[in-house]
């Protein structure tokens, strides 16, 4: 039976709210009726809450107690496609639907009627007296041309009080105008000429464009080394979507959302796309949410949560750097945006492009199995070639204690400095030093609330817990034995490496890049743009710099500790190290000068290190695939992590044991349970954590069994249970 499209006044409707309730609740349609999918406000106890008209009411509740929908919000009703996506994503990730709905409604005041606000732009007059503050206001207005600002934005950006701006309004130097709060986005022009593509690129672009135009679902792995033109190719697919009158979404890891990239998109289509990320203001979020729903934002560039926007006619989803671990949301709703992109596209007949130089084994296996099409760009665009890869055998190098840059790496950096080229030293560790040790008693400073050491961040002048984010000033005396002046840093972090580099190369301009060292994403982006333009000789960076930035003058990458990722028991350790090292190496030699990447390692014979050096990716994947098949782990088997947590360790363990003992629902589908065991980080934010791991065959109906199984635990008090389908991290 198909759902009615419209409900007359008084008809029973089922409303799904964003509140943590088990099911949709019945209400009576308001005066004027409401559409299926309408965003509504409903009474819940004494409160008013947001909800969506999910279908006809169930009618299993006393009719005289059913209340009316308060009002229908001024927003495009949720389309069936999105409703189905949320329902299936909730089932796949074993997440309650209301939590899923919250992801799709994360914009403030999304139902408010259109309203006006005052905006400020450059006026015709010149100021009577040019003070320093006034000059700064004019500088901001000049820099941003025709963009208009709110009073607060303009004053903040110029670093002046709002009365300075108001003063300029009085002289007509600045114009004050009324403007609707939610402006549509400027039209993008897909007919502007793109770059002339190489043969490889053109073939790839044509194949993608064909799929988009046909309006069919399909997923394509677009593989090519960094610099091979993957972006150029998928921008052609975006053009095809725009020409077909459909919307496009490009997902990027948060940190790859750079000005560089946005400028490139703007050049290609002649207008700015909508930009959805954690730094976007609330006003901007609301504008994007509404305009996407009305089809008046054609292209969204966003971080993973952009996947939940209410697109009107989505034709293409690009997941750039598809292997990136940040696509997996690790708290709240545990979902993988890459996999959910494929799900959404299959529901709305859209194309998916998964772009990467180093795809995940999951995606590689899907391409091998013929589920995804595979497009290869085999060489770098233009004269640039892949960097030469080499190992520095650290067993043969002499290094003073507390020093990490080997003599050989120093020599190589010297050569680049002499030639006026850039060099990068990479270490995947934030902060100054991972351990702070008391030389008197051996105590290591840990977090009060977590089972983790605190990491010194000298730049912030604090110790920081990387698990819970708690921080405290560096103590003068040892918290354990009170010895004074005996606390010492152990091991390197990016800040300490920067310090060492400054000692080795006192003349060089050194830039240290780490996400926590910049007040805002904007400041970090500005810094990166400056470096790309030549503002530094040596770049010291974490993971952050491995992701998609273009430094044309960079010709050497030195990896300080290539062995770091190989420790630990993560099933993807080899894959992650392989990807990260290839990505980092890919930063070198993008323009005319050829690049080199050198890996400092204590185990040059390790198979992963050898595969990285040999650059034989197919061989690496094939052997990695064989091992995972053998072990029956993803992508050849299914896994789910169960994390129980609570303030009372006995209660948490009891719940874990109860699940382990009563595993009938899982045994019926042939799945096995491992654990309970204390999680590797056994306490976070004062909560004790216990893990179980479930393994099943690839075709087993895992989710249904999991739902029945975990329902046996009564969630008393502060006990919580999280189900992590396809876990990516096991901490
Ligand atoms: P990827 O996304 O694979 O890293 P890009 O698309 O960013 O590669 O391309 C790398 C660089 O080469 C960019 O500066 C891009 O503009 C340039 N480029 C790629 N293909 C072409 C082309 N056909 N014509 C001109 N420039 C190109
Ligand atoms: Zn902590």
Measured from the CA of 548, which atom of ligand 1 is nearest? 4
What is the pLDDT, as a whole number, of residue 547? 65
Provide the pairing of β-strand 462-464 with 471-473.
Answer: antiparallel
Selection from 554, 553, 580, 557 nearest residue 390 by Cα: 557
Q: Does domain 638-725 have CATH number 3.30.390.50?
A: no
Pocket test for ligand 1, best of 229, 233, 385 (most atoms within 8 A of CB): 229
Residues near ion ligand 2 (Cβ under 5 Å): 447, 449-450, 465, 467-468, 470
Does the C-beta of 656 come closer than 6 Å to ligand 1? no
Beta carbon of 543 within 6 Å of any ligand 1 atom: no
Query: Which helix H or strand E contains 60, and what residues bound it?
Result: none
pLDDT grade for 114, boundaries at 50, 70 and 90: low
pLDDT score for 422: 93
Most ligand 1 atoms within 8 A of CB, residue of 227, 238, 262 to mutate: 227
pLDDT digits (tens, 9 = 90+) for 639-692: 999 999 999 999 999 999 999 999 999 999 999 999 898 888 888 999 999 999
Distance 5 CA to ligand 1 centre (A): 47
Q: What does the angle CA 435 – CA 440 – CA 445 come to, to the nearest 5 degrees?
A: 30
Distance from C-alpha of 687 to C-alpha of 648, rounded to nearest angstrom: 8
Higher pLDDT residue, 252 or 572? Answer: 252
Cα(553)–Cα(715) distance, integer angstroms: 57
- What is the SS3 assignment for 243-279? HCCCEEEEECCHHHCCHHHHHHHHHHHCCCCEEECCC
Instruction: Express each pLDDT in 424-466 by its tens digit.
Output: 999 888 899 999 999 999 999 999 988 888 999 988 889 998 8
d(CA 412, CA 453): 35
**Fold observed for domain 116-180:** Arc Repressor Mutant, subunit A (1.10.10)
**Topology, domain 199-377:** Rossmann fold (3.40.50)
Ligand nearest to the Cα of 685, by number: 2
Give 232 Cα–ligand 1 centroid separation in angstroms: 6
Distance 375 CA to ligand 1 centre (A): 16
Residue 258 Cβ < 6 Å to ligand 1: no
pLDDT over 90 (residue 117): no
The residue whose C-alpha atom lies closest to atom 5 belonging to ligand 1 is 229
* pTM (predicted TM-score): 0.83
Cβ(226) to ligand 1 under 6 A?
yes
Alpha-carbon span 246 to 209, nearest angstrom? 12
Contact 231 CB / ligand 1 (< 6 Å): yes
Res 665: pLDDT: 95
Say what the alpha-carbon torsion angle 602, 608, 610, 613 is, to the nearest 10 degrees.
-100
Q: Which residues are 318's β-sheet partners?
A: 250, 353
Indicate if ligand 1 lies below 6 Å from the C-beta of 198: yes
Question: Is the distance from the beta carbon of residue 551 to the nearest atom of ligand 1 less than 6 Å?
Answer: no
Q: At what angle do helices 162-170 and 151-158 cross, to 10 degrees?
A: 110
pLDDT digits (tens, 9 = 90+) for 462-491: 999 888 888 899 999 999 999 999 999 999
Report the candidate in 313, 301, 318, 302 with the shortest Cα–Cα distance to residue 208: 318
- Cα dihedral sign, 682-683-689-693: negative
The residues spanned by each domain of the chain are 6-103, 116-180, 199-377, 388-429+492-624, 638-725
DSSP 515: G
Quote the ligand 2 centre to 93 CA distance (angstroms).
27
- Cis previous bond, 676, omega within 30: yes
Ligand that comes closest to the CA of residue 455: 2
Query: Cα(666)–Cα(637) distance, rounded to whole angstroms?
Result: 15
Q: In Å, what is the CA distance from 592 to each residue of 176, 563, 608, 723?
A: 49, 31, 29, 49
Report whether residue 414 contacts ligand 1, using a CB cutoff of 6 Å. Answer: no
Q: Kindly report the backbone phi and psi dihedral angles of residue 693, in degrees, each rounded to the nearest multiple of 5, phi listed first.
A: -125, 135
Residue 498 has pLDDT above 60, yes or no: yes
Q: What is the pLDDT of residue 1?
A: 44
Going from the Cα of 381 to the center of ligand 1, the distance in angstroms, rounded, reads: 6
User: What's the gap in Å between 675 CA and the centre of ligand 1?
Assistant: 49
Q: Compute the distance between CA of residue 667 and CA of residue 670 in angstroms, rounded to an integer.
A: 5
Does 195 contact ligand 1 (Cβ within 6 A)? yes
Separation CA 226–CA 377 (nearest Å): 10
From the CB of 553, is ligand 1 less than 6 Å away?
Answer: no
Fold of 6-103: GIY-YIG endonuclease (3.40.1440)
Q: Is 363 in the pocket of ligand 1 (CB under 6 A)?
A: no
CA of 450 to the centre of ligand 2 (A): 4
Ligand found nearest the CA of 447: 2
CA distance 436 to 58: 60
Determine the atom of ligand 1 nearest the C-alpha atom of 233.
6
Whether the pLDDT of residue 620 is over 60: the answer is: yes
Q: What is the CA radius of gyration of the chain?
A: 28
At residue 591, the pLDDT reads: 56
Are 175 and 169 in contact, with CB atoms under 8 Å apart? yes
For 155, residues 6+ apart whose C-beta sits below 8 A from its C-beta are 161, 162, 164, 165
435 CA to centre of ligand 2 in angstroms = 14
227 lines ligand 1 (CB under 6 A): yes
Rounded to whole angstroms, how far apart are CA atoms 682 and 657? 16
Please state the CATH superfamily assignment of the domain spanning residues 388-429+492-624 in this structure.
P-loop containing nucleotide triphosphate hydrolases (3.40.50.300)
In the predicted model, is pLDDT for residue 353 greater than 90?
yes
Angle between helices 132-143 and 162-170 (to 10 degrees): 80
Residue 590 CA to ligand 1 center (angstroms) comes to 10
| Residue 94: pLDDT over 80 | yes
For 210-219, what is each residue's pLDDT tens digit?
A: 989 999 999 9
Would the pLDDT of 521 be above 70? no
If you measure from the C-alpha of residue 324 to the centroid of ligand 1, how many angstroms do you get, rounded to a whole number? 20
Task: Please indicate whether the domains covering 6-103 and 638-725 agree at the CATH topology level.
Answer: no
> Which of 177-186, 486-495, 562-571 has maximum average pLDDT?
486-495
**pLDDT of res. 74:** 86
For residue 204 and ligand 1, the question of a CB distance below 6 A is answered with no
Q: Compute CA 185 distance to the chain's CA centroid, rounded to the nearest angstrom.
A: 24
The predicted model gives 556-579 an average pLDDT of 81
Residue to mutate (ligand 1; options 198, 225, 231, 553; most atoms within 8 A of CB): 231
User: What pLDDT is recorded for position 529?
Assistant: 84
Is a pLDDT exceeding 70 seen at residue 381? no
Ligand lying closest to the C-alpha of residue 229? 1
pLDDT band for position 527 (cuts 50, 70, 90): confident
Ligand 2: distance of its center to the CA of 442 in Å? 20
* Distance from Cα 546 to the centre of ligand 1, integer Å: 17
The verdict on the CB of residue 229 being under 6 Å from ligand 1 is: yes
Q: Which residues of 593-626 are buried (b: 16+ CB within 10 A; e: fewer)?
A: bebbbbbbbebbebebbebbbeeebeebbeebbe
């Amino acid at each position: 039976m198909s759902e009615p499209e419209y409900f007359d006044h008084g008809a029973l409707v089922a409303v799904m709210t964003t509140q943590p309730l088990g099911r949709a609740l019945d209400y009576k349609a308001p005066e004027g009726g409401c559409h299926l999918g309408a965003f509504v406000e409903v009474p819940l106890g004494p409160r008013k809450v947001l909800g969506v008209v999910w279908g006809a009411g169930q009618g299993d509740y006393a009719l005289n107690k059913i209340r009316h929908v308060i009002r229908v919000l001024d927003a495009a009703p949720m389309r069936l496609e999105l409703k189905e996506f949320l329902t299936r994503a909730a089932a796949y990730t074993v997440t309650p639907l209301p939590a899923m709905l919250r992801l799709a409604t994360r914009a403030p005041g999304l139902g408010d009627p259109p309203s006006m606000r005052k905006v400020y732009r450059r006026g015709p007059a010149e100021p009577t007296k040019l003070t320093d503050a006034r000059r700064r206001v004019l500088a901001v207005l000049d820099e941003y041309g025709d963009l208009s600002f709110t009073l607060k934005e303009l004053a903040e950006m110029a670093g002046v009080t709002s009365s300075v701006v108001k003063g300029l309004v009085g002289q007509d130097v600045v114009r004050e105008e009324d403007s609707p709060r939610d402006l549509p986005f400027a039209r993008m022009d897909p007919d502007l000429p793109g770059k002339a593509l190489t043969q490889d690129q053109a073939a790839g672009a044509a194949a993608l464009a064909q799929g988009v135009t046909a309006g069919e679902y399909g997923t394509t792995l677009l593989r090519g080394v960094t610099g091979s033109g993957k972006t150029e190719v998928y921008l052609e697919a975006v053009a095809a979507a725009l020409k077909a009158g459909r919307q496009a979404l490009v997902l990027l890891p948060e940190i790859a959302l750079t000005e560089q990239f946005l400028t490139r998109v703007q050049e290609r289509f002649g207008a700015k796309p909508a930009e959805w990320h954690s730094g976007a203001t609330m006003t901007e979020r609301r504008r994007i949410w509404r305009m996407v729903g009305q089809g008046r934002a054609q292209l969204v560039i966003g971080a993973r949560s952009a996947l939940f926007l209410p697109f009107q006619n989505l034709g293409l989803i690009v997941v750039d750097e598809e292997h990136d671990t940040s696509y997996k949301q690790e708290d709240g709703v545990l979902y993988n945006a890459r996999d959910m992109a494929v799900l959404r596209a299959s529901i709305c007949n859209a194309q998916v492009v998964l772009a990467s130089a180093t795809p995940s084994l999951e995606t590689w296996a899907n391409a091998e199995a013929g589920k995804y099409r595979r497009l290869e760009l085999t060489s770098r665009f233009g004269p640039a070639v892949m960097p030469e890869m080499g190992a520095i055998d650290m067993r043969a190098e002499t290094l003073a204690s507390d020093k990490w840059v080997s003599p050989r790496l120093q020599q190589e950096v010297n050569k680049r400095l002499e030639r006026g080229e850039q060099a990068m030293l990479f270490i995947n560790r934030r902060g100054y030093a991972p351990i702070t040790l008391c030389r008197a008693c051996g105590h290591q400073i840990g977090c009060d609330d977590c089972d983790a050491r605190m990491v010194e961040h000298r730049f912030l002048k604090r110790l920081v817990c990387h698990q819970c984010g708690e921080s405290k000033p560096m103590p003068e005396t040892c918290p354990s034995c009170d010895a004074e002046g005996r606390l010492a840093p152990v091991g390197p972090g990016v800040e300490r490496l920067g310090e060492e580099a400054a000692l080795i190369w006192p003349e060089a301009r050194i830039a240290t890049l780490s996400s926590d060292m910049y007040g805002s994403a904007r400041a970090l982006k500005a810094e990166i743009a400056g470096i790309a333009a030549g503002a530094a000789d040596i770049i010291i960076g974490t993971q952050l710099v491995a992701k998609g930035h273009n430094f044309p003058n960079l010709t050497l990458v030195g990896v300080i500790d290539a062995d770091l990722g190989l420790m630990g028991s993560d099933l993807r350790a080899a894959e992650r190290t392989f990807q990260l090292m290839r990505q980092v190496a890919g930063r070198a030699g993008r323009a005319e000068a050829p690049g080199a990447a050198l890996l400092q390692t204590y185990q040059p014979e390790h198979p992963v290190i050898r595969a990285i050096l040999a650059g034989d990716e197919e061989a690496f994947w094939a052997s990695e695939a064989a091992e995972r098949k053998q072990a029956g782990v993803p992508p050849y088997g299914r896994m789910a992590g169960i994390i129980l947590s609570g303030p009372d360790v006995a209660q948490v363990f009891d719940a874990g044991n109860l699940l382990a003992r009563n595993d009938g629902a899982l045994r019926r589908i042939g799945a096995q349970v491992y654990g309970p065991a204390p999680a590797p980080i056994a306490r976070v934010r004062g909560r004790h954590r216990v893990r179980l791991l479930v393994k099943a065959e690839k075709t087993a109906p895992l989710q249904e069994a999991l739902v029945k199984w975990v329902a046996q635990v009564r969630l008393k008090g502060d006990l919580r249970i999280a189900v992590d389908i396809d876990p990516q991290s096991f901490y």
